[in-house]
Amino acid sequence: MKKTSSTFYLLLIPVLLWLIVLIVVPHMDLMFKSFRLETDEGNMIFSLNNYLTFFQDEIYWLTFVKTALYSIFVTFLAFVVTFPVAFYLTKVIGKQYSGFMTLLLLIPIWIGELVTVYGWMILLRDNGVINNFLMKIGLINSPIEMLFTNFSMTIGLLYMSMLFMIVPMMSALDSLDDSLIEAASDLGASKWTIFRQIIIPYTTPGIVSGGIIVFMLVIGDFVAPNILGGKSSLWFTEQIYNKFLASFNWEEGAAFGFLLLLLSSIIIWVALKLTGQKLERVGS
């Protein structure tokens, strides 16, 4: 190969600066901070206290477990809801319509979480659109309490995650040649068998990569649980938010942040092992 030219360094240096200053260092700081404790004299000492707090105080790790389980659930739900749509847009309708309909799917992402969650809030309120509609057509007599429940929080999370789930799945399905489906049918497979033995195995890498993105998005989300969830639906990310912006206990907040990162990575690693996927394959 040619010897390293000045162009190389010109390219390397900005990137190195970006990555080191804005990614490596902050996360190291985060890690260090999480091991710090302020003594009564105001000194900072090394301590595992912050982590112990997490494990000892029921509310913290219970909240985390609940958050993690819910996130897995929402991820799964997002897959189930969006797969038929992804299939429809890539395999069933022609290219002239699918472009437009895909565009419609992307618009809520650009609009942003805050506005869409707000929209759900309006819809699900006691005097919101849905309750009004149900009462008008006589299905119910008094408003169903839908807001500030786990239900409303799930809807908000699902709404955001389905959009991010659908794109990797569409791209995986796009590369699945129709002739594979036809060949399977020709060899005697029913539609269900084709789905189970041809379509799903082929698109599994796409599903898994979509699932990872969605899982991390949901578990780290703040807006939807905070605005749509009620008192009982504590979300772990809210804890971090509180530590940093309300109680100013940055040390504990750092520990929690790091735990979030660590534990969700472990969950993803387990999921990858279970579905037999390799990180590199999914990464593409």
Residues 44-63 that bind other proteins (CB under 8 A): none
CB count within 10 Å of CB 250 equals 17
Give 216-267 as a DSSP string: HHHHT--HHHHHH--SS---HHHHHHIIIIIS--HHHHHHHHHHHHHHHHHH
Selected from 45, 69, 129, 266, the binder of other proteins by CB under 8 A is 129
Nearest to other proteins of 5, 39 (CB atom): 5
CB count within 10 Å of CB 238 equals 18
Given a contact cutoff of 8 angstroms between Cβ atoms, the answer to whether 161 and 109 are in contact is: no
As measured in angstroms, the least distance from the Cβ of 208 to other proteins is 13
Selected from 74, 214, 240, 267, the binder of other proteins by CB under 8 A is 240
> Which of the residues 146 through 205 are near other proteins (CB under 8 A)?
159, 177-191, 193-194, 197-198, 201-202
- Please tell me the distance from the alpha carbon of residue 244 to that of residue 250, in angstroms, as a whole number: 5
As measured in angstroms, the least distance from the Cβ of 62 to other proteins is 19
Q: If binding means CB under 8 A, how many residues of this protein chain bind other proteins? A: 103
> Which of the residues 20 through 39 are near other proteins (CB under 8 A)?
22-27, 29-30, 33
Window contacting other proteins (CB under 8 A); options: 42-50, 51-59, 245-253, 270-278: 245-253
- Please tell me the distance from the alpha carbon of residue 276 to that of residue 281, in angstroms, as a whole number: 11
> Which of the residues 74 through 113 are near other proteins (CB under 8 A)?
81, 84-85, 88, 91-92, 99-101, 103-108, 110-113
Pairing of strands 36-38, 44-46: antiparallel
> Which of the residues 210 through 229 are near other proteins (CB under 8 A)?
212-213, 216-217, 219-223, 227
- Please name the residues in contact with 2: beta carbons below 8 A apart, sequence gap of 6 or more: none
Window contacting other proteins (CB under 8 A); options: 40-48, 62-70, 72-80, 118-126: 118-126
Given a contact cutoff of 8 angstroms between Cβ atoms, the answer to whether 161 and 217 are in contact is: yes
Window contacting other proteins (CB under 8 A); options: 39-47, 48-56, 62-70, 261-269: 261-269
Q: Is 139 exposed, middle or buried (0-12, 13-18, 19+ CB in 10 A)?
A: exposed
Nearest to other proteins of 234, 260 (CB atom): 260
Given a contact cutoff of 8 angstroms between Cβ atoms, the answer to whether 117 and 156 are in contact is: yes
As measured in angstroms, the least distance from the Cβ of 56 to other proteins is 22
